[in-house]
Amino acid sequence: MLLLYPQGLEFLTAFLGCLNADIIAVPAYPPKGNQKMSRLQAIIKNCQPDVILTTSSLLEKVKSKLGQIIDSNQIKCICTDQLGTISEELADNLTIDNEIAFLQYTSGSTGNPKGVIVSHENILHNSAYIQTAFQLTEESVSVTWLPSFHDMGLIDGIIQPLYTGFLGVIMSPQAFLQKPIRWLEAISYYRATHSGGPNLGYDLCVEKVTNEQIKNLDLSCWLSAYNGSEPIQYKTLERFINKFQSCGFKSHYFYPCYGMAESTLMVSGGELEKEPICLNLDAEQLAKNIICEGNGNSTKVKELVGCGHSWLDTDIQIVNPETETICEDNQIGEVWVSGSSIAQGYWQQSEVNTAVFSNKIDSLNGCYLRTGDLGFIRNQELFITGRIKDLIIIWGKNYYPQDIENTVQNCHPALRKDGAAAFSLEVDNQERLVIVQEVERTYLRNLDTNEVVKAIREAVSLEYELQVYAIALIKPASIAKTSSGKIQRYACRDQYITQTLSLVGEWQQKLTTNELIKDSNLEITEDNIINWLLTKLTGILGLEEDELEIETSFSEYGLDSSVALTLTGELGEWLEMELEPTLFWEYTNIDELTEYLWEEWENDQD
């Protein structure tokens, strides 16, 4: 049963109803107004649900697009806010399974999505695991803004409060992204002890929360500020501590941890009340999978934050991925995990399941999950150094580069098929997306770089809600490939960094620190709304003001969802209006948005 809900109690009711009825639940993210349906379509094709549960308001927004990807004779849509009596015929045809609880579709490939099979036993074990590691009791209080269709939001934010029996406060991701202060205000107001998220959640608080707002916060109640979902940045921890220590936040509240949907959620975590463990390693040696302490002679130092250790019956081993033998301490290898939290496999992916979930280690019992992550163990502390696979992780979500590459090379006729590489770079302590793409030989002489760049940014924004940081257009047949013709993404990445690509055109976002308009001193007029939007967008997108046209769609400029939501919050504060999170999707350019805002603002004054 596919669950298509916004964040909130409606989803929670439907999910728990499925668990109680032994019906396999499939949480999925509801698409926004102009967003493509390819990911949802791929999930539906893979899991083949009997029924889609949703709300009448959401169905009204997406039914035309939904009708294009499902057969209404095969899959019924039921609005649970208008629920009458379900026909006996429909009830009799529902698929019942008393072992599988739900399918967790990882935020990855749109072409071949992987639905992680999570059993009731997996839920119970990982819930006990989290409870033990975080020392949670009935006196604990949690606050989450993480999406409920994602493993961390679902298992820790919703199921854990029910399992242990404490107060769990849920807010929507949109509410947090609009105004990050809301998260900290909720922690302060409800006296939350347990809350967290990925790096960028903490970074947004540092960037957006003002010194005046800090005066009204008391974060001394916060015992476990967990950080996971993506590589943990020490500078993120440091900046957050420095900014919020005046309102009671202490450095040992930070709780770095490691997990994934394939292990239900949590794999490792540290000890409460202990400081996060950080190592300074030689970055050049680390890139070669060699652990070497950084020193004064090192040109570059990489700060690695430890992710704790295993709990209960879970076992973590570092394994040579080629020989499949256990590495010694301080040797980098692939992270393998076994235990009762390991999921049953991927839905309808039997061949992949054998390779990923059913691995043996000589002299050890049980099957091990191959995580695809590289790391090492030092003094029983797990450190993650990178990935074997070319997975891109931005904002805690996984993106498969081959999907992005396919989108890019089909967005403009000047771009060659099978000639793209997508990868991420760490810039200003954030992972950012880079595209390297070959150009067709027939377009070289009269290549319109700006046109091609716009097409790429718009295509990636519409399909993945991601902002592209840089685009390198290169000569045909010059992209790094293996002898069998596969794209060598790491080689392309190195060539981009060392500026050795065969460039024919390039573009890079300017990460400016523009002085933005002082909103409170700006008179609200229709022209000033346009000026506000132009000023904010040029600063965020790294464009000159004359590069923005008020009738061009935001997606064409590569505006991603997290930035759009943050802008909505700032815009609402200036206009003193409550604005919908979907604002930038419903009014898709500056002209449309200004017309709507000015009309609404004038109506509010009457």
Q: What is the mean pLDDT of residues 148-161?
A: 94
Q: What is the mean pLDDT of residues 456-471?
A: 88
Q: What is the mean pLDDT of residues 245-263?
A: 95
* Helix ranges, 22-172 (H): 38-47, 56-69, 88-92, 120-133, 151, 160-164
Q: What is the mean pLDDT of residues 292-316?
A: 84
Where does the pLDDT of residue 94 fall: very low under 50, low under 70, confident under 90, or very high at 90 and above? low
- Residue-level pLDDT at 394: 82
The secondary structure of the chain in percent helix, strand, coil, rounded to multiples of 5, reads 40, 25, 40
- Residue-level pLDDT at 303: 87
State yes or no: pLDDT of 107 exceeds 80: no
Q: Which amino acid is at 484?
A: S
* Helix ranges, 50-119 (H): 56-69, 88-92
For residue 63, how far is the Cα from the chain centroid?
A: 26
* C-alpha distance from residue 505 to each of 1, 455, 467, 511, 584 (Å): 48, 14, 19, 20, 30
Cβ atoms of residues 30 and 3 within 8 Å:
no
- Residue-level pLDDT at 88: 59
For β-strands 141-144 and 224-227, DSSP reports them as: unpaired
State yes or no: pLDDT of 199 exceeds 70: yes
- Residue-level pLDDT at 87: 56
What is the Cα–Cα distance from 566 to 598, expressed in whole angstroms?
20
- Residue-level pLDDT at 86: 59
- The CATH number of the structural domain formed by 273-387 is 2.30.38.10
Q: Which residues contact 435 (CB under 8 A, 6 or more apart)?
A: 404, 405, 408, 420, 421, 422, 456, 460, 468, 470, 471, 472
Residues 443, 448, 449, 451, CA torsion sign = negative
Residues across the chain: 606
Q: What is the DSSP string of 166-195?
A: -EEEE--HHHHHH-THHHHHHHHHHT-SEE
Where does the pLDDT of residue 514 fall: very low under 50, low under 70, confident under 90, or very high at 90 and above? very low
- Residue-level pLDDT at 516: 43
Q: What is the mean pLDDT of residues 65-90?
A: 73
- Residue-level pLDDT at 76: 86
- Residue-level pLDDT at 515: 42
Query: Which residue in 299, 268, 269 sits closest to 281, CA to CA?
Result: 299
Query: Which residue in 442, 434, 500, 510 sits closest to 472, CA to CA?
Result: 434
State yes or no: pLDDT of 106 exceeds 80: no
State yes or no: pLDDT of 551 exceeds 70: yes
- Residue-level pLDDT at 345: 95
- What residue spans define the domains of the chain? 1-98, 273-387, 400-508, 519-605
Fold entry, domain 519-605? 1.10.1200
What is the Cα–Cα distance from 393 to 198, expressed in whole angstroms?
11
Q: What is the mean pLDDT of residues 286-308?
A: 79
State yes or no: pLDDT of 559 exceeds 60: yes
Q: Which amino acid is at 280?
A: N
- Residue-level pLDDT at 440: 92
State yes or no: pLDDT of 15 exceeds 70: yes
Give the position of tokens 């992270």.
335
State yes or no: pLDDT of 484 exceeds 70: no
Whether 273-387 shares its CATH topology with 519-605 is answered: no
- The CATH number of the structural domain formed by 1-98 is 3.40.50.980
- The CATH number of the structural domain formed by 400-508 is 3.30.300.30
Structure-model confidence comparison of residues 122 and 67, the more confident one: 122
For β-strands 369-378 and 381-387, DSSP reports them as: antiparallel
Percent of the chain with pLDDT over 70: 92
Structure-model confidence comparison of residues 583 and 339, the more confident one: 339
Average pLDDT, the chain: 87
Q: What is the mean pLDDT of residues 519-539?
A: 82
Give whichever of 63-77, 256-270, 419-433 has the largest mean pLDDT: 256-270
Query: Which residue in 111, 99, 39, 152 sits closest to 345, CA to CA?
Result: 99
Q: What is the mean pLDDT of residues 336-347?
A: 96
- The separation between the first and the last C-alpha atoms of the chain, rounded to the nearest angstrom, is 47
3-state secondary structure of 255: strand
- Residue-level pLDDT at 328: 82
Q: What is the mean pLDDT of residues 204-233?
A: 91
- Residue-level pLDDT at 96: 62
Where does the pLDDT of residue 491 fall: very low under 50, low under 70, confident under 90, or very high at 90 and above? confident
State yes or no: pLDDT of 180 exceeds 80: yes
CA torsion, ordered 559, 560, 561, 566, to nearest 10 deg: -70
Structure-model confidence comparison of residues 585 and 457, the more confident one: 457
Where does the pLDDT of residue 33 fall: very low under 50, low under 70, confident under 90, or very high at 90 and above? low
State yes or no: pLDDT of 518 exceeds 60: no
For residue 15, how far is the Cα from the chain centroid?
A: 22
